[in-house]
Chain A
Amino acid sequence: MITVGIDLGTAAIKVVFIDQGSLLWAKALPTLPQHIKVCEQLLKEGMETVSLKKKDIAGVAATGYGKRLFPGSMKIVDEISANAVGAYVLSKARARTIINIGGQDVKVIKISCEGKVDDFKMNDKCAAGTGRFFEMAGRILDTPVCEFGDLSFQSLSQVCLNSTCAVFAESEIVSLLSMGKSRNDIIAGLHKSVARRISELTGSLYLEEAIYLDGGPAVNKGLTLAIKEELIRDIDVLEQPQFTVAFGAAIILSEEMSVKESIKAERR
């Protein structure tokens, strides 16, 4: 059974195709005002790539902040539950804590041994330390965010950033640049300050092992290292961590449809 998960996030729209729990195809595009068009474009591309027709797809599950915007979804899944299931399955049932850094929020989700949400913490409306924060830093430093990880490893003397606020950090970075601080040192400082913010959200003791990091910024190896150092815990990163939530939504739909089919079969 092939199901599709769409994660309509604030920074990117992610689409995954799965077949019996295995990932077939995944792609992300930046979120634009025309959400539906982006979703349809990704669906079309996915179907072409894995040579599928519409009738081959059992259903589409939507998740993320824009989950109610896509009219073609069969199921709407909250992003926290989708994240828990996605990480649990992709980690082969190892994950007990997920730290998700999204476009506008940071979530720490505890997962039960059955793969369900046990508890979670999430920042409120402040966007400090989220994907938006990195986007702002990339703009000021005139550096693509995807290069942050490698550049931070070249830092010789990490600077201390006082703010993770997306607004105040901007003026702090400008002032550090004017003081002659190097870009690499500032990036390393950014990672450290985001790691500290995550640590303040939960405290290291809240996290149960195995701990995984996901969301778009999780591909940044420099950030992962900073979080590990700040929390003094082992943290793994899933392959393609930006797709965990969409993957989880597709899994939830697939499991729900399998249950329905088996009930139908029993009745027959």
Chain B
Amino acid sequence: MQLNSAERNNSKAKLAQKIKKEIQEEYHRQASFLRERSDFCQELEYFLEIFSLPVSPQKVKKRFSRPFVGIYCIQAPLELFDALGFHPIRLCSGSLAIQRLSSPFLPALTCPLIKSCVGAFYLDESIEKLCDILVVPTTCDWNTKLPEMIQDKAIPFYIMELPHIKESERGQSRWLEEIYELKRFLEQCAGRRLNRSQLQISVNKYMKAWQAFGRLIEFRRRGLICGTWSIVLANAFMIDDVESWTDKVNIVLKNYDKPEGNSNPGVFLAGSPVFFPYLKISELIEEAGMDILADELCTSERLIASVIYDEPSEYGLLKALSERYHLSCSCPTYIDNDRRLKNILNTMRTYNIKGIVYHLLKGCHPYDLESFYFEKVIKENGFRFLKIETDYSREDRQNILARLEAFRATLC
């Protein structure tokens, strides 16, 4: 017997409620795991509270009073949104439970991150649905097709066409054009023109955040703060108000300012993004007795975009933003990305990191394709390499842990 329309809606609402509860439990469980760690200090509670926001969107509205812009990936300059009065949120999701809402409508081998991001639009309320605009740079294929996946969700999209060759004059000038187009679009939405001095204030405001980020990384390299907490703090940056985040990171770092850190073998974490509550890979690396001294994740260290401007005119500031967010970005969707590998090798040599754990989310094609060349070059340079292909589920923890434990033995 077929359900009538009212019955169907009722049953849909019930399912969404059930899954919403599961998502809340998932976030709560991960926050509890983190609180139980021996390296937890009360100052970190602020960041765990940030991760109660995705499951309580009403709290988000209260906390940040400005209109929201949801941004996918990391190429759109945050300073521009801030200067025009928007609160930028880098949309990302590490929730497994939320995938139950989107899975029936997506290919089975969809990137888990995209599956979770799309799932958020099927909830009755979510941060995604609070956004007035969604900005999508055309990075990987999944992201490029994202607007199509959620076209019926009635939130306006703004697409930024990303030049995939960045170290060319043409690529850079095209991206600068895109930044100007974005500016014009945001001015229309805000109902006012961009003010040069306001943009400079925003650039300087973010500069303080980049400096705090730099200190966080320095602490991490010295083994004073662990990889998992560093990732959690970086993840929180993607949601939080920039000034509050900067203050709180500086407070946390005071607490970890000690002469010496841990002495486990250090590894570099490369590959697909890691976002709360999905912290499986970093937690397992640490459980296997290794410290993640550095990473290049777009949800962690790659977020840093220290913008340096020579000329404080509107053009000078926008050009500096355009270069920093495009030319300096090492997203694997770029064709000319040799600098990424060189930087990783330099970091490994400088900090005596002997191996790379290459984290790959199933269906994350750019990182998957790149992993073979990466493995070859990393090994040729005398470093160890371990590729872990996984997803947001917890069922392969033992299998991954067995490999990480053996990998640790190869580093000693």
Q: Do A and B bind each other?
A: yes
| Interface residue ranges, A against B (CB under 8 Å) | 65, 78-81, 104-105, 116-120, 122, 124-125
B390 touches A124 (CB 8 A): yes
Contact of B405 among A78, A104, A105, A119 (CB under 8 A): A78
Residues of A within 8 A of B388 (CB): 124
A117 touches B409 (CB 8 A): yes
B402 touches A119 (CB 8 A): no
Given contacts A79-B406, A81-B409, A122-B403, 5 further A-B contacts (CB under 8 A): A78-B402, A78-B406, A80-B405, A122-B402, A125-B390
A65 touches B406 (CB 8 A): no
Contact of B410 among A104, A119, A124 (CB under 8 A): A119
> What total of chain B residues lie within 8 Å of the partner, measured CB to CB?
16
On whether A80 and B398 interact (CB within 8 A), knowing A116-B409, A116-B410, A124-B389, the answer reads no
Q: Which of A117, A118, A122, A125 has the most CB of B within 10 A?
A: A125
On whether A125 and B405 interact (CB within 8 A), knowing A116-B410, A118-B410, A119-B410, the answer reads no
Q: Which of B398, B399, B402 has the most CB of A within 10 A?
A: B402
B395 interface residue, CB < 8 Å from A?
Answer: yes
Residues of B within 8 A of A104 (CB): 399
A80 touches B402 (CB 8 A): yes
Query: What's the least CB distance linking B160 to chain A, in Å?
Result: 34
A142 to B379, CA, bound (A): 46
Residues in B359-412 with C-beta less than 8 Å from chain A:
379, 384, 388-390, 395-396, 398-399, 402-403, 405-406, 408-410
Residues of A within 8 A of B384 (CB): 119
A164 to B85, CA, bound (A): 57
Query: What's the least CB distance linking B31 to chain A, in Å?
Result: 25
B406 touches A125 (CB 8 A): no
Say whether chain B's binding surface is mostly helix, strand, loop, or mixed: helix
| Interface residue ranges, B against A (CB under 8 Å) | 379, 384, 388-390, 395-396, 398-399, 402-403, 405-406, 408-410
Query: What's the least CB distance linking A221 to chain B, in Å?
Result: 28
- Identity of the chain A residue whose Cβ is nearest the Cβ of B389 in the assembled complex: A124
A120 to B409, CA, bound (A): 12
Query: What's the least CB distance linking B117 to chain A, in Å?
Result: 23
A80 touches B399 (CB 8 A): no
B395 touches A80 (CB 8 A): no
Contact of B406 among A105, A120, A124 (CB under 8 A): A120
Query: What's the least CB distance linking B398 to chain A, in Å?
Result: 5
Query: What's the least CB distance linking B339 to chain A, in Å?
Result: 27
B402 touches A65 (CB 8 A): yes
B403 touches A125 (CB 8 A): no
B403 touches A120 (CB 8 A): yes
Contact of A125 among B379, B399, B408, B409 (CB under 8 A): B399
B396 touches A125 (CB 8 A): yes
On whether A65 and B389 interact (CB within 8 A), knowing A80-B403, A117-B409, the answer reads no
Residues of A within 8 A of B403 (CB): 80, 120, 122
Residues of A within 8 A of B399 (CB): 104-105, 122, 124-125
- Identity of the chain A residue whose Cβ is nearest the Cβ of B405 in the assembled complex: A78
A65 to B398, CA, bound (A): 7
